[in-house]
Amino acid sequence: MNSQMNEKMNPNSKILVVGSGGLVGSAIVRKLKELGYVNILTPKRNELNLVNQIEVRNYFLKNKIDYVFDAAAKVGGINANNTYPGEFIYENIMIQTNLIHEAYLSGVKKFLFLGSVCIYPKFAPVPVKENSLMTDHLEPTNDAYAVAKISGIKMLEAYHKQYGFKSTCLMPCNIYGPNDNFHPENGHVIPSMITKFHTQTDEVVFWGDGSPLREFIHCDDLADAIVFSMNNCLDDATLYNIGSGHNISIADLCKKIAAIVNYSGKIKWNTDMPNGTPNRPLDSSKFYSLGWKPKINLTDGIRDTYNWYCEKTYTQSR
């Protein structure tokens, strides 16, 4: 194992975190700073257009980066994925392709790639193991995003095979927390539920029938796992699942969030709309065996997320 590991980051390593303004990227930056890393680059969208190969190339040439955390992606919930598949597949493939290729060309020591549980087949055996990748059909409502992420994994495998480029691929379960997309229609399930329960008093409507089971991890737990993985995981593009180890139905999640938000109106389910994948818990045993475990339970994590949302809403309304 050690022969496949690269050197660990040191406090002065030049570290690039792309997507630093988003849910996962901002959590990674917080974790790196907490651990004493001081040389962190966090370019914003108006400073670096990741879809533009020339801009990405020039940025790597200028900054001499040691390590890359790729948390940049066009993301959204089931409605956004289903409505804008062309945007999801184009932007995500372009972003990761430019980053991986230019990181390799510029001599980056290791690349950390983030995917999503949606890369696995819709009816993969559960809990889902890493070897289920590409064994069956994807969930059609988010297959464009999934195909883009799968191409990133395969690109890193190819670059390791041909060039010896070092990387690790992490597949987290559903992520939530501060800096998420709280749009009531296009956001992920937890933040969109928070927004609906917070802003509506009489009735809220959700897609499907509430029966699908989902696994969630708080972004701060995931960031801890991501930084841990850069220093402790195999660097041959090995794929690792990262989950919380706990499943909950969408209906029960809905009740939990409604209670935290103190919503007392009606809850309805639009069964004419798709449920998505029925059940997709991850088998995270391979990653857990390295010595990492999640710390934040779902109730505390949702409460933390709701408090952040309320503070942000209050600040923006002033």
Position 289 in a domain = yes
Tell me what pLDDT residue 3 has.
Answer: 40
Tell me what pLDDT residue 314 has.
Answer: 66
What is the number of domains present in the chain?
1
Position 166 in a domain = yes
Task: Indicate which residue of 37, 59, 145, 176 is catalytic.
Answer: 145
Q: Among all chains, which residue has been given the structure tokens 């809905």?
A: 254
Determine which helix (DSSP H) or strand (DSSP E) holds 173, and give its type and residue range. none
Question: Helix crossing, 298-317 with 250-261: angle to 10°?
Answer: 50
Position 269 in a domain = no
Specify whether 145 is catalytic: yes
- The domain that holds 36 is classified in CATH as 3.40.50.720
Q: What is the pTM of this model?
A: 0.90
| Domain coverage including residue 110 | 2-178+215-246+279-296
Position 136 in a domain = yes
Tell me what pLDDT residue 5 has.
Answer: 52
Q: CA 92, CA 90: separation in Å to the nearest integer?
A: 6
The 3-state DSSP class for residue 241 equals strand
Position 129 in a domain = yes
Tell me what pLDDT residue 278 has.
Answer: 79
pLDDT tens per residue across span 53-90: 999 999 999 999 999 999 998 777 667 777 878 999 99
Position 94 in a domain = yes
Q: CA 149, CA 172: separation in Å to the nearest integer?
A: 12
Tell me what pLDDT residue 1 has.
Answer: 37
Position 251 in a domain = no
Position 198 in a domain = no
In this structure, what token pair is assigned to residue 42?
A: 């966090």
Tell me what pLDDT residue 221 has.
Answer: 97
Tell me what pLDDT residue 318 has.
Answer: 41
State in Å, rounded, how far the first CA of the chain is from the last one.
Answer: 54
Q: CA 8, CA 4: separation in Å to the nearest integer?
A: 12
What strands, in cross-sheet order, belong to the sheet with 15-18?
Answer: 40-41, 15-18, 67-70, 110-114, 167-172, 236-242
The 3-state DSSP class for residue 170 equals strand
The set of residues, in sequence order, having a beta carbon less than 8 Å from that of 11 and lying 6+ positions away, is 36, 37, 38, 39
The set of residues, in sequence order, having a beta carbon less than 8 Å from that of 149 and lying 6+ positions away, is 73, 92, 96, 115, 116, 118, 119
Given a cut of 70, the residues of the chain with pLDDT beneath it are 1-6, 77-78, 314-318
- Which of these, 58, 63, 9, lies nearest to 36 by C-alpha position? 9
Tell me what pLDDT residue 316 has.
Answer: 64
Q: CA 50, CA 47: separation in Å to the nearest integer?
A: 10
